[in-house]
Amino acid sequence: MSSLTVLFGVAGLLALAAAIVPKLVADRPFSVPLVMLGAGIGLGLLPLPAPYGDGWSDPAAHLHGVESFTQLGILVALAGAGLSVDRPFGLRRWGSTWRLLALTMPLSILLVAVLGHWWLALTPGVALLLAAALAPTDPVLAGDIGVPHPDVEPELARDNEIRFTLTTEAGLNDGLTMPFVLLGLALAGSEPKLDVSWVLVDLLLPIATGVAIGVAAGWLLGWAIFRTPSDRLRLAEYADGLVLLALAFLPYALAELAHGNGFVAVFVAAVAVRTQERSHEYHGVLHAFGRQLERLFVPLALLGLGLAVGDGLLRGLRVIEVLIAVVAVLVVRPVVGWVSLLGSSAGRPASLAIAFFGVRGIGTLFYLAYALNRIPVPQQDVLWRVGAVAVAVSVLVHGILAEPAIQRIERMGGHLPDR
């Protein structure tokens, strides 16, 4: 039996699971990602033939595949997240998001990098790579607690501070993590270039370029979807969710070709499309199609991680590696996030929830594969073990606690921003 045959069989079972599991776990204290991670671990313990005979537990043998697949999942999730944002853009209205991006993310990266250097004896560059990979909250795995579609619950989508902030943070920090990864790669290289022109051109300019291209691409796509004079060409006249893929791929490609940040461009473009037309029923079509794709990517990503874990990815795992993963997810992010939100309009209950529920997932796997694809790192086994444990801890803890905790805060009225 070939490994390809096994993969087809697993893919078929996975498609069924993607349709059935969400209904089975509804109103239960565990999530679809948690179920699929556990299923992957169980499959990994079985003597299944691995592709190309490299084994499931060696990410170094599949870096290009891991990077490409996770990148695809992130792009689809960013487009869906941006289309779900119904609150008008603004410094004040998005205040909690800006605090998390400007304070929580860089401070968390700094603290985790220090811990990686101190506890794991990683070089400064490698420690920064690890910290940056653990930084982005994930728009895919956060989808279940993110903003629902406004056609279903318009007030919840617009005014729910917890869900809005978690969605917009996840939508932007996947792209804003890239400068820290590039800085880590530069420090880990044999001849780091850290002059002012490199910082401006390679680290900061791509973000501005991504925003500009995202706004332009979003305006053009929004015009094509909702405002084209011809009924035959106006995409909103057709119940076709494939337009979501255009929104995910075109801004990314344009931004990357212009040396911009593609992830930022996709989310900004999706928000721009939403801004042009907030109430059209076509948003429901795009939202449903996006959720279907996410329901496929989540099981695949978590199943793959579980396969690697069950097959021996964590072989050689040390207590200190588990400790730094747990501290990064359950201590550093909540504490720094809480401090960053002090005095914000979110209010105390919402601030606590926002700070705690920083879900890790596909973004961590992408940036680990991205970095290790570009520079050989002697301690890459350590990075994969810590990253895998961090994602597993997040899926377990956040998957069990997120929805019950947020629903309780919503019943108490603590999810609305202070006016």
* Residue 283, both tokens: 């948003």
> What is the percent of the chain where pLDDT is above 90?
44
For the stretch 131-182, pLDDT in tens is 999 999 886 555 455 555 545 555 555 568 888 999 999 999 999 999 999 9
Task: Give the mean pLDDT of 243-252.
Answer: 94
pLDDT at position 97 over 80: yes
- At 3 the three-state DSSP class reads helix
φ and ψ of 191, to 5 deg: -130, 80
For the stretch 195-209, pLDDT in tens is 888 889 999 999 999
Whole-number mean pLDDT of the chain?
84
* Residue 95, both tokens: 């205040």
pTM: 0.90
pLDDT at position 299 over 80: no
Per-residue model confidence (pLDDT) at position 53: 52
For the stretch 202-231, pLDDT in tens is 999 999 999 999 999 999 999 988 888 877
Task: Give the mean pLDDT of 90-102.
Answer: 93
DSSP state of 141: G
Distance CA 217, CA 270 (A): 9
Per-residue model confidence (pLDDT) at position 270: 95
For the stretch 14-24, pLDDT in tens is 667 767 776 66
Yes or no: say if 327 and 115 are a contact pair by the CB < 8 Å rule: yes
Yes or no: say if 241 and 290 are a contact pair by the CB < 8 Å rule: yes
For the stretch 316-355, pLDDT in tens is 999 999 999 999 999 999 999 999 999 888 888 889 989 9
Per-residue model confidence (pLDDT) at position 155: 52
For the stretch 42-69, pLDDT in tens is 877 877 665 555 555 677 777 888 899 8
Task: Give the mean pLDDT of 72-99.
Answer: 91
Distance CA 233, CA 267 (A): 24
Per-residue model confidence (pLDDT) at position 358: 86
Distance CA 239, CA 262 (A): 27
CA atoms within 13 A on the CB side of 244: 30
Task: Give the mean pLDDT of 346-367.
Answer: 89
Band (10; pLDDT cuts 50, 70, 90): low
For the stretch 368-411, pLDDT in tens is 999 999 888 778 899 999 999 999 999 888 878 877 777 777 77
